[in-house]
Structure 1
Amino acid sequence: MTRKILAAAATSLALAAAPAHAAAPTPVKSIVLVHGGFVDGSGWADVYKILSKDGYKVTIVQNPTNSLADDVAVTRRAIAAADGKVILVGHSYGGVVVSEAGTDPKVAGLVYVTAFAPDKGESVNSLIANPPPGAPVPPILPPKDGYLFLDSAKFAASFAADVKPEVARFMAASQVPWGVAALQGAVTEPAWKVKPTWYLVAKDDKMIPPPAQRQMAERAHAKVEEVAGSHAVYVSKPAAVAAIIEKAARGAAE
């Protein structure tokens, strides 16, 4: 009997000393979505619905798109108000905003959705200054009072070719003025150098050439996925966009 008691005690001690299995990391549950130029945050509606249904707390930033500094300030306020750690997502020019704002300690990871991912000192202006031969030229009209618009007649073909025609027409008619100063805003310390990064390439983009997207993603050491879609892929393919955001939420927690 004594031997049995001693053996049981030894087993108990061994089990107590054994390292416990680490609990699976909890995914980041707060998502902040940042729109790009010419549009507002309403285009994120279907991505928002998917993420919310899956249990995420989603904030949609409404950038004034007057200047990079203004947009970064608005985004940082959204990060500060979010519950816990944040996955910060930027579309198009929104990628410049998240590159600058994403150094915030609450940001656990970045997602670029067919977006600019500038390095230190770069801006939209510098990134589009020398397009490769044969690259499509976005139909940007000459600036008026310091703001830019896309030619409404060419908006769908260049920005939203795979979006329902009536939605593309509405997007063209409801364009948000994009400040020239915002295009000139240069990133100081790009967040992708210090934060886990994901990038969704839209293979049919006529605003930011896919080869340029791939180059920026590679430079940022991003985990890259590609999907057939226009520049407005967040409108036309919300499930694909939500999927990479959820992967980032899980991956940033590991």
Structure 2
Amino acid sequence: MTTFVLVHGMWHGGWAWERVASLLEADGHPCVAVTLPGKDRAPGDPTFRGHCDHLTGVLTGIDGDVVLVGHSYSGALLTEVGAAPNVRAMVYVSAFCLEPGESVASVNDAEAGSEAGKDDIRQVGDYLVIDPDTARNAFYHDCAPEDAAYAVERLTPEHAGTRVAVVSRAAWRTVPSHFVVCTLDRACTPEVQRMMAARTHSWSELEASHSPMLSMPDAVARTIVKFAGEHVA
């Protein structure tokens, strides 16, 4: 049995995948919605290295094949540790499919247009925070107002090091990978996404904001299942 492991982006938690996970599970696909360590979120090391170790531990604890799905920042985690022995395929949902030596910051800040870039977030001590109105406009502009409000209320600070951490591996070179480009995205521009999508040689597009898990979970679930079906026996 193949397990779908769903990993969230910066400031979010496993809750961001609830709708997609429910759809996948209703279709008979076991899911694990990971909540990464962080302030006001889950115990453990909140740094990029800590997140990589946490995800590696999750993968090690799963019997059987895994399809690894990442949103936004967690694409860097997929890139770094996604070549685990039981990972058969990966899906990047507006996620950072990086080359060794790149970071989320180096890619997202290289092109103008992001509404969640370095000038749109604040550092408080060792953590980055994003203001509610900024998050609402950058992440959830095509979501129902109540869904956007629910998400904004659950955002938590993210360790500053996660955004600038440099990856040392590129798991997508050896693990079959698909990229979902969100064409209405204001956080990671479609142009930047298409550049990264070309690396995977397999991509599709959704007319969605940065958070299609909330605004169109059916389409996200179908995309994941379709790609998994092509690469997992």
TM-score normalised by structure 2 residue count: 0.91
SS in structure 2 opposite 1:143? strand
Say yes or no: does 1:224 pair with 2:203: yes
Q: 1:245, 1:99 → 2: CA distance?
A: 17
Bigger CA radius of gyration: 1
What is the alpha-carbon distance in structure 2 between the residues aligned to residue 88 and residue 180 of structure 1?
Answer: 24
* Residue type of the alignment partner of 2:109: A
Matched, 1:161 2:137: no
User: Which residue number in structure 2 is paired with residue 19 of structure 1?
Assistant: none
Partner of 2:215: 236
Number of the residue aligned with 2:83? 103
| SS of 2:122 mapped into structure 1 | coil
Q: Which deviates further from its counterpart, 225-234 or 59-68?
A: 59-68
- Check the 8 A contact 1:198/1:244 in 2, yes or no: no
2:187 is the alignment partner of 1:207: yes
The residue number in structure 2 matching 1:124 is 104
Match of 1:38 among 2, 7, 11: 11
Q: Please, which of 42, 59, 63 is the counterpart of residue 36 of structure 2?
A: 63
Question: How many corresponding residue pairs?
Answer: 224
Q: What is the identity percentage for the equivalent residue pairs of Structure 1 and Structure 2?
A: 31
Alpha-carbon distance between aligned partners in 2 of 1:99 and 1:161, rounded to the nearest angstrom: 28
Q: What's the offset of the Cα at 1:140?
A: 2.9
Instruction: State the partner residue of 1:13.
Output: none
CA distance in 2, matches of 1:169, 1:202: 21
Deviation at 1:157, TM superposition (A): 1.4
Aligned match of 1:137? 115
Q: Which amino acid aligns with 1:74?
A: H
Question: Partner amino acid for 2:75?
Answer: G
Query: 1:93 deviation in Å?
Result: 0.3
Q: 1:92 and 1:210 mapped to 2: Cα distance?
A: 13
Structure 1 stretches lacking a partner, 5+ long: 1-27
CA distance in 2, matches of 1:137, 1:236: 18
Indicate if the aligned counterparts of 2:179 and 2:200 stay in contact, CA closer than 8 A: no
Q: Which residue in the other structure is 1:10 paired with?
A: none
Q: In the alignment, which residue of structure 1 is the partner of 2:41?
A: none
Does structure 1 residue 86 correspond to structure 2 residue 59?
Answer: no
Where does structure 2 lack aligned partners over 5 or more consecutive residues? 39-45
1:194 paired with 2:179, answer no
Contact 2:20–2:218 under 8 Å retained in 1? yes
Q: Is the 8 A contact 1:87 1:109 kept in 2?
A: yes
Q: Secondary structure at the match of 1:100?
A: helix
| Structure 1 runs, 4 residues or longer, greater than 4 Å off | none
CA offsets 1:190-239 (integer angstroms, 9 cap, x no match)? 11011101111111000000111111010232x11111111111111111
1:54 correspondence with 2:27: yes
